[in-house]
Amino acid sequence: MKLGSLKEGGRDGTLIVVNRDLTRGVRATTVAPTLQKALEDWSSIAPRLRALAEQLEDDKAVGSFELDTTALAAPLPRAYQWADGSAYVVHVELVRKARGVEMPPSFWTDPLMYQGGSDSFIGPNDEIEMADEAWGIDFEGEIGVMVDDVPMGISPQAARKHIKLVTILNDVSLRNVIVGELAKGFGFFHGKPATAFAPVAVTPDELGDDWNGARLDRPLISTLNGKEFGHPNAATDLTFDFGQLIAHAARTRHLEAGTIVGSGTVANRDPAVGCSCIAERRVRETLEGGKPLTPFMSFGDHIRIEMFNRAGKSIFGAIDQKVVRYTPPA
């Protein structure tokens, strides 16, 4: 089944069940008011949401409506945790190579992960508001999973069964801010503003054979200002799968239901497939020609991120955002 949130009913939105074609929805309020609440009690709530999803597919759901996915909030409009990995180590290796810095071999065995801000995500079609173009505004196309309660110290294999939903996201990044920020030694803060999510999150069974329990075997399509930017496959060159990433996140603490774990920018070694962020293309340009050619995003630029199933249908709906100027309060 596919789940999303309407921008109504408060800060956490209103949970809806969405049909496979993303054309119709139905409020799930009789089952659970919000997606967060559903994840907190998933084993008892999921079967009832699934029954509603079946009614919706059969056009028998009372109160169903024609859906405009562009008007949706992020499936979790805010979350208690957003833990983002960097699981395509080939991407990290490229970045290091362009900077002339050796990558520690441990990066192939010990996942990189940062604690992201989760208090106010933005919807799939919300504008990316930024005060300054000079910050180096970039998108990052990623896969994310939402889990129920995960105990501290869980194994990667056991962690897999806690994956309840899968989605895609745009981990908006400010490249020129990140450089100075990481040099300070405390990780990302300003460089990672509000993250955007696809209209819906889906249960793993919706992904069929393209989901092996811990990774998603489909290309992620990024389109910048109407032109394809990349279509790397999310299973290719994935160094750490979601079982490993969740176990990593839970090494020294329990993870609360509703935690979102991210893959990091989807990247493949093959340059022919393109990139899921501008930074990687600039790195490739630097390695080829000595300097980056593609600029970061300007006010007015559009980024679209989407994934299709084997039949060519959009799985999660599209992230489609415009960068706009933000004016801070006086």
Residue 308 touching its own copies (CB under 8 A)? no
Indicate which single residue of 188, 211, 242, 316 sits in contact with its own copies (rule: CB under 8 A). 188
**What Cα–Cα distance (Å) separates residue 197 from each residue in 13, 14, 126, 255, 319?**
14, 16, 10, 20, 7
Is the Cβ–Cβ distance between 195 and 170 less than 8 Å? yes
Indicate which single residue of 99, 251, 313, 325 sits in contact with its own copies (rule: CB under 8 A). 251
Minimum separation from the CB atom of position 86 to its own copies (A): 7
Indicate which single residue of 48, 50, 133, 189 sits in contact with its own copies (rule: CB under 8 A). 189
Residues of span 60-89 touching its own copies by CB under 8 A: 78-81, 83, 86
Could you tell me the two tokens for 83? 């833990």
| 61 contacts: CB under 8 Å, gap ≥ 6 | 17, 26, 52, 55
| 252 contacts: CB under 8 Å, gap ≥ 6 | 152
Residues of span 105-134 touching its own copies by CB under 8 A: 107, 110, 112-120, 129-131
Indicate which single residue of 40, 133, 217, 285 sits in contact with its own copies (rule: CB under 8 A). 40
Is the Cβ–Cβ distance between 140 and 297 less than 8 Å? no
Could you identify the residue written with the tokens 């105990």?
151
**What Cα–Cα distance (Å) separates residue 133 from each residue in 50, 128, 171, 189, 207?**
44, 11, 17, 18, 38
Residue 328 touching its own copies (CB under 8 A)? yes
- In DSSP terms, 84 is beta-bridged to 114, 262
Minimum separation from the CB atom of position 217 to its own copies (A): 27
Indicate which single residue of 184, 209, 227, 312 sits in contact with its own copies (rule: CB under 8 A). 184
CA distance 121 to 221: 21
Could you tell me the two tokens for 285? 């340009």
Judged by beta carbon, residue 84 or residue 306, the one nearer its own copies is: 84
Minimum separation from the CB atom of position 125 to its own copies (A): 18
Judged by beta carbon, residue 126 or residue 206, the one nearer its own copies is: 126
Q: Enumerate binding residues for its own copies (CB under 8 A).
A: 11, 40, 78-81, 83, 86, 104, 107, 110, 112-120, 129-131, 135, 151-155, 158, 174, 177, 182, 184-194, 249, 251-256, 258-259, 326-329
